[in-house]
Structure 1
Amino acid sequence: MSEAGDFIDATLQRESSWQRAEAGQDRFGPGLSVYGASVGAVRGTVRDALRRHRELDRDGLTALSSELWAVPVFERRLAAVVLLQSALRHLDNSDLTRIEGFLRGAHLPDLADPLAVDVVGPLIAGLDGQARTRAEAVLDRWLRDPDPWLRRAALLAPLRELRKGAGDWARFRRRAALALANGTADGTADGGAAEIVRDAVERVEREAGGEA
């Protein structure tokens, strides 16, 4: 483990409480361990790590995010998301491959949604020209993927822009229809996967006003 990764992990364990750990374990299930640190503690720990390790460049930051995500502990994975939020100015469309891997393993709105809304969305909004076109093509591919968490992320990514009135509602509605149709095509429409996608559509409509 890197020095920065070790600092984050050790600090999160020190910030834990058995009550939060027990509640989180009940909520998230057996597939993910929980230290019991608060969201505020996770954010503060990442800030402290970045102050301690100002030498981290783009490659170092993205490698650290992968290191944190690699261990199935909720707080470590949330720290990876917070780290990417902090590193947005360094990211470009080539980082969507790494983020796609995270989304495929997220399996929780608590991890997948901030990745989509607070990392993927702002990342793409900050691109232009061919880089923006390539990034939008990645979202279109996610909409056709059997993994409902990728389809959900593609729909939630423009939420910030739509909230501000700067997004493309027509594109969102086309994408929503495609994501829901793909759920029917892959046989998941009657299960939890379809609900994962529908919930994303409803969240965007609710939080961004659902313009016609």
Structure 2
Amino acid sequence: MSEPAEFIDESLQYESSWERAEDHERRYGPHLEYYGASVGAVRGTIRNAERRYPGLGHDDVTALASELWSRPVFERRLAAVVLLQSAVELLRHSDLTRIEGFLRSAQVPELVDPLAVDVVGHLLLRLTGQDAVRARVVLDRWASADDAWLRRSAVLAHLPAFRAGTGDDASFRRTVRLISGAQQGRVVEVEEALVLVRESGAL
């Protein structure tokens, strides 16, 4: 384990609480392990890590996120999400492959949704030209995927653009059509995500 990953892991375990770990398991299910650190502690740990290890570049951030994600511990994976949120300006369209792996194994909306909205959605806002085209191809593939978390993410990734007033109705409707066209009834699986986007004025 790299030094930054070890620092983050040890900090999260220091902030652990067995009562909170049991509460997390009741709320999120048995798919993951839980240290029992609060969301605030996770965010504080990433801030501390960024101060302790300044100047992390693209490759450092993405490798660290993968290290944190490699163990199915909720707080470690949430820390990876927070890290990517804080470094979204460094990310590239090619990072969607790595993020897709995270989404497929996330297991819970509390990890999927911030990845889709705050990481993928904000990355899409930054991309232009061929990079934007390639990213949209990935989003279309997610919308047609067998994985429900990818389909949900394909919808939610539109949310930042609509919140910023730059949402593309045609692109959003294409995502919805791809989901519903791939298999009858699939839109039901992303109903909550659709509601969030509707509230932003997309529909």
Same fold (TM over 0.5): yes
Q: Matched residue of 2:94: which SS?
A: helix
Deviations 1:102-146 (A, max 9, x none): 000012110000000000011111010111111111101111111
Q: Within 5 Å, which residues of 2 pair with 1:109-124? A: 109-124=109-124
Letter in 2 for 1:102: F
Q: Percent identity?
A: 57
| Residue 202 of structure 1: aligned partner | 195
Unpaired runs of 5+ in structure 1?
A: none
Q: Matched residue of 1:54: which SS?
A: coil
Mapped to 1, the partners of 2:171 and 2:188 lie a distance apart of: 21
Matched, 1:63 2:63: yes
Q: Within 5 Å, which residues of 2 pair with 1:62-211? A: 62-184=62-184, 189=185, 195-206=188-199, 208-211=200-203
Give aligned pairs, total.
Answer: 203
* CA positional deviation for 1:196: 3.2
Letter in 2 for 1:196: E
Unpaired runs of 5+ in structure 2?
A: none
Give the direction of change, closer, same or farther, for the CA distance of 1:38–1:121 in structure 2 (3 Å limit). Answer: same
Mapped to 1, the partners of 2:189 and 2:37 lie a distance apart of: 26
* CA positional deviation for 1:182: 2.1
* CA positional deviation for 1:209: 2.8
Contact 2:179 2:187 in 1 (8 A): no
Letter in 2 for 1:209: G
Q: Matched residue of 1:31: which SS?
A: coil
Contact 1:148 1:194 in 2 (8 A): no
Q: TM-score, normalised by structure 2?
A: 0.95
| Residue 51 of structure 2: aligned partner | 51
* CA positional deviation for 1:181: 2.9
